[in-house]
Structure 1
Amino acid sequence: MNSPKTEGLPIAGSRARKVVGFLIFCELASGFTQGFYPPLLKDFAAHLAVSDADITWFLTVQSLAAAVCVPLLSKLGDLFGHRRLLRIAVVSVLIGTLVTALVPSYPVVLVARVLVGPLAVWLPLEIALVHNRISGESARRAIGLLITFLTGGAILGTFTAGGISLFSPNITLTMLAPVVLVLISTFVVFRLVPESPARTATKVDFVGFAGIAVFMIAVLIGLRGAGDAGFFAPSALIPLLLAVVVFVGWVLWELRSPAPAVDVRLVASRRIGPIYLAALCFGMVMFGAQAQIATFMGSSPEREGYGFEATAGTISLVIGTITILATVGAALFSVLAARIGIRTVLLTGSVLAAVGHFLVLPLHGSFGGYLIAAVVQGLGYGLLLGALPARLAELAPTDATGIAAGVYNSLRTLGGALAGAIFAAMLGAALVAGTEFAGIEGYFGIWIFCGAAFVVCFAALLFVPRETPAERAGAERTGAERTDAASAGAGRPDADPTSTESGSTSDR
């Protein structure tokens, strides 16, 4: 029979790997759910008997809900436990996806989409769970895998939606596919994921969170109005002015609050502020420019004078290529960071993304050239996707990892919405007289904007603190130190049976 020491050694390491594996599955389900619905919107609109304009709110309502709930649930995770809030979020998404599939009433479906909004907080809570259990190189690899399976799940969801719709004429059965994965994720989170040990001992700033909600809703409604009617239309100007007023009042409140919803000083600090600025720029391009890829490629050279008259399949090939390469980049970032440093990885990702967008300017005339530019963009996206949240989690205070990651996700969402409205206005300003299509100069402006956004991203990341020698050495020693901790704790009667490689809470 093995001694307690030898018996406990593999248990700690395997436990940590299993927990990360369980969270990876949850991110696969999250990505699958996010990628599953967009290809089916046309069919779902017919099923619900609503117009194409109305069905756009199917995605917009979820974005609004996500923008509001991500910072709130992330902060509550720091206060009351990240697993506890992840359980609430996963149950909310389960109910929302189930109602979406089974209740063919558009108003009820919109309410269900609000319940799906907390899907966006899964990743921040999982990053906090990882960083409360493991650190150093192991944590980076784990976060890289979470991002990888999130983007991979989105690819899988997109292709699965198309495949199921071909063989299943029943839209209700088709829409049940995400429910299966979310249901398994619910079991995983309730039964197999341990709670995080760190807690923030403070009160909840409900006024601060209400301010975030009003601000985000006003901004997104204003940006939607700007995309439809221009920035100076009342439908855009009024909510955007309201957002400015609310934001100023919110900042003043947070600066005076003894327990702020978001530590404004920390967010704007020299330590992690550059990462947030980079996240905003990154989100503007990654989430804001997707529609322009489809409209440019689908344009006809004979009619518009540009584009490739691409089919939906060809367009999905290019978008899929970018997403797959982003997945590869996210998977490789921790390996590269171990060799050249995570700050260098961040800067490299920014350079690749900027170059990829500037390359479109001379190469947009051929499909091969456009694809080359897309490949460079995808690799840059992947390095940023993995390295930005990993470095943020390392620099944020231990008891604020959840809210730090939540603010990061919210800024990316906000950046995407802002850029989407800006790009719509740019194409609208470039409309050819007497037609409904934009001139090529509108797309030139978008590509230059995207490249410039990553130049700003690069400049911001120059101010991200370099890894200290202690951090680099700590990452190298991580495995050995945790092995010693596991061995030392294996024979203690008070050892935490759910502790991971970092040992039990008392070991800290």
Structure 2
Amino acid sequence: MLAAATGALESALTPTLPLLQRELSLTPAQGALVGIALYLTGAILLPITGNLGDRFGGKRVMTRLMGVVVVGGLVSSLAPNLPLLLLGQVLQGAMLGALPLSFIMVRKYLSQGESSVAIGVVSGLFLAGGMLGTLISGPIAEGLSRHWMFAIPTIGIVVATLLVHRLMPDDPPARSDSRIDWPGLLLMSGILLTLMLVLAIVPEAGSQPIELGALVVLLGVLVTGWIVVERRSRAPMFDLRLLAQPAIWSSYVITFAVCLGTSLSMHLVPQLLAATGDGYGFGASATDIGFYLLPGAAAAAVAGPVAGVTVRRFGSRAAVIVGVVCMMAALIAMVFLHGEIWHLVVGKVLVALASGVCVTAVVVKTATAVDHSDTGTATSLVLVIRVVAAAAGMQIGGAFLTAGTPSGSNIPTESAFVTGFVIGGAIAVLSLLAVRKLDKGVKE
């Protein structure tokens, strides 16, 4: 229930982003910034929550984390302007930390084969909540107001968190050493924050070259410092020796490529549905967009359990290969076929299903390739990469649309959408270069 409630709150923004852009007078680039604000906090907190969950127990950390999410939902629901809406989305981003905490508890109480399916089910419930949020946020925003589309899922999170606290058994920490690597955690937070700021500035790099260059230099310094600290720490936040395992580093590479390609291309779909160009676009309302995106959300929800069963029977490598090929085929088709609403709906379904299978497969691989004491940390980094890639994809997609909008108009050209579909597919295909390493040295 908690996974479904958090998924609903996360997805509330997607179908209503064009509506928010109109009501708050946002540019496409500002709309993309609102979209990544949630992922900003998620990227920072994911490795922290995973590490804390390994050390102190998943349930204990999760209940406290949901308190932050509830505050964020309330701020977003009451926000009258862009700055407060951004603040609310930043606080809501803490919800992403619930996933590695769930994986910790799954691995503690289930066998490896059962864990593969259970991780897929948990991921599927999160995405099922996303499906619900996609369905109800548009009608709520138009029938009541945009404020209620955040308030209603937040109420669901409050109820679900109380049930988790009351009904779930406490899980003992997987690590006997409870020391926290604060220097490593702070440096990792700085790395992710700087990286997200770089992504936010990239679309306007031409007007802010000095700021962008300074952030890139700072990012390099932080990464170097983090590596030095982790190598010297007695209780590192992330054991860098894990990266030497082919199953781990290939999972990270595949996740980045698949999620970057998916986010870039799928950010364009609601924008194309809402556009009213000459011979393209459909002028769809927020409610209509929510219904059009619903089948894709359903496919993503199904992808988790499907991936879990597929990995258990055929292995992660087979699941990823099939997913990437299907995703590539769908995006190629959307390049040529986007003149009817059903073209976009079917394309979104295929991409969501394929991407969901790929990401769940690599999460399962990562979770089962490490010791129990590293489950939260290792899987949280997969999810961090997913978040960073999703944010980067949205920014790149927003940059394509901004660059493709003629002067004096607020409607991007058709070629901007086509270019985004092409680039998204090409990036996803690059993940196949790392697939052959996915099963090396580890038994499913």
Which residue identity is paired with 1:63?
A: Y
Equivalent-residue separation in structure 2 for 1:292 and 1:107 (angstroms): 24
Quick check: 1:31–1:151 contact (8 Å CA) kept in 2? yes
From the superposition, tell whether residues 372 and 164 of structure 1 become closer, same or farther in structure 2 (CA, over 3 Å): closer
Residue 275 of structure 1, CA deviation: 0.5
Residue 256 of structure 1, CA deviation: 3.2
Equivalent-residue separation in structure 2 for 1:308 and 1:29 (angstroms): 31
Equivalent-residue separation in structure 1 for 2:341 and 2:18 (angstroms): 27
Q: Does 1:323 align with 2:297?
A: yes
From the superposition, tell whether residues 361 and 268 of structure 1 become closer, same or farther in structure 2 (CA, over 3 Å): farther
Equivalent-residue separation in structure 2 for 1:70 and 1:153 (angstroms): 19
Q: 3-state SS of the aligned residue for 2:376?
A: helix
From the superposition, tell whether residues 358 and 268 of structure 1 become closer, same or farther in structure 2 (CA, over 3 Å): farther
Q: 3-state SS of the aligned residue for 1:204?
A: coil
From the superposition, tell whether residues 434 and 286 of structure 1 become closer, same or farther in structure 2 (CA, over 3 Å): same
Counterpart selection for 2:423 from 442, 449, 454: 449
User: What is residue 361 of structure 2 aligned with on the other side?
Assistant: 387
From the superposition, tell whether residues 135 and 287 of structure 1 become closer, same or farther in structure 2 (CA, over 3 Å): farther
Counterpart selection for 2:324 from 338, 350, 355: 350
Equivalent-residue separation in structure 2 for 1:259 and 1:197 (angstroms): 19
Residue 293 of structure 1, CA deviation: 1.6
User: What is residue 340 of structure 1 aligned with on the other side?
Assistant: 314
Which residue identity is paired with 2:198?
A: G
Residue 323 of structure 1, CA deviation: 2.0
Q: 3-state SS of the aligned residue for 1:271?
A: helix
Q: 3-state SS of the aligned residue for 2:431?
A: helix
User: What is residue 233 of structure 1 aligned with on the other side?
Assistant: 209
Gaps of 5+ in 1: 1-24, 473-508
From the superposition, tell whether residues 228 and 176 of structure 1 become closer, same or farther in structure 2 (CA, over 3 Å): same
From the superposition, tell whether residues 230 and 437 of structure 1 become closer, same or farther in structure 2 (CA, over 3 Å): farther
Gaps of 5+ in 2: none
User: What is residue 264 of structure 2 aligned with on the other side?
Assistant: 288
Equivalent-residue separation in structure 2 for 1:293 and 1:39 (angstroms): 10
Which residue identity is paired with 1:246?
A: L
Q: How does 1:52-451 map to 2 (within 5 A)?
A: 52=26, 59-101=35-77, 111-168=87-144, 175-202=150-177, 203-230=179-206, 233-300=209-276, 302=278, 306-308=280-282, 310=284, 312-313=286-287, 315-427=289-401, 438-451=412-425
Q: Aligned residue pairs: how many?
A: 441
Equivalent-residue separation in structure 1 for 2:354 and 2:441 (angstroms): 21
Quick check: 1:131–1:139 contact (8 Å CA) kept in 2? yes
String of CA shifts for 1:105-126, please: whole Å, max 9, x gaps.
Answer: 9766655544323211001110
Quick check: 1:35–1:158 contact (8 Å CA) kept in 2? yes
Higher-Rg structure is 1
Quick check: 2:39–2:388 contact (8 Å CA) kept in 1? no
Equivalent-residue separation in structure 2 for 1:434 and 1:418 (angstroms): 27
Residue 406 of structure 1, CA deviation: 1.1
Quick check: 2:68–2:94 contact (8 Å CA) kept in 1? yes
String of CA shifts for 1:256-306, please: whole Å, max 9, x gaps.
Answer: 33322222331353131100111111221333333312333444563xx54
String of CA shifts for 1:77-110, please: whole Å, max 9, x gaps.
Answer: 1111111111211122223334544686976665
Quick check: 2:246–2:440 contact (8 Å CA) kept in 1? no
Q: 3-state SS of the aligned residue for 2:267?
A: helix
From the superposition, tell whether residues 309 and 94 of structure 1 become closer, same or farther in structure 2 (CA, over 3 Å): closer
TM-score normalised by L of structure 1: 0.77
Residue 156 of structure 1, CA deviation: 0.9
From the superposition, tell whether residues 34 and 208 of structure 1 become closer, same or farther in structure 2 (CA, over 3 Å): same
Equivalent-residue separation in structure 2 for 1:383 and 1:43 (angstroms): 31
Which residue identity is paired with 2:95?
A: L
Equivalent-residue separation in structure 1 for 2:302 and 2:318 (angstroms): 18
Residue 432 of structure 1, CA deviation: 5.6
TM-score normalised by L of structure 2: 0.87
Equivalent-residue separation in structure 2 for 1:45 and 1:432 (angstroms): 18
Counterpart selection for 1:458 from 412, 432, 440: 432
Quick check: 2:142–2:287 contact (8 Å CA) kept in 1? no
Q: 3-state SS of the aligned residue for 1:463?
A: coil
From the superposition, tell whether residues 44 and 431 of structure 1 become closer, same or farther in structure 2 (CA, over 3 Å): closer
Q: 3-state SS of the aligned residue for 2:237?
A: coil
String of CA shifts for 1:344-372, please: whole Å, max 9, x gaps.
Answer: 11221122112211222333455554444
- Greater RCO, 1 or 2 (C-alpha within 8 Å, sep 6+): 2
From the superposition, tell whether residues 387 and 260 of structure 1 become closer, same or farther in structure 2 (CA, over 3 Å): same
Residue 437 of structure 1, CA deviation: 5.3
Deviates more, 1:100-109 or 1:218-227: 100-109
From the superposition, tell whether residues 330 and 214 of structure 1 become closer, same or farther in structure 2 (CA, over 3 Å): same
Q: 3-state SS of the aligned residue for 2:50?
A: helix
String of CA shifts for 1:137-176, please: whole Å, max 9, x gaps.
Answer: 322221121111111111212322233345436x666643
Deviates more, 1:307-316 or 1:222-231: 307-316
CA RMSD of aligned residues (A): 3.2
Deviates more, 1:403-412 or 1:376-385: 376-385
Quote the sequence identity (%).
Answer: 23
Quick check: 2:252–2:385 contact (8 Å CA) kept in 1? yes
Q: 3-state SS of the aligned residue for 1:83?
A: helix
Deviates more, 1:370-379 or 1:115-124: 370-379
Quick check: 2:62–2:101 contact (8 Å CA) kept in 1? yes
Equivalent-residue separation in structure 2 for 1:418 and 1:197 (angstroms): 37
From the superposition, tell whether residues 130 and 423 of structure 1 become closer, same or farther in structure 2 (CA, over 3 Å): same
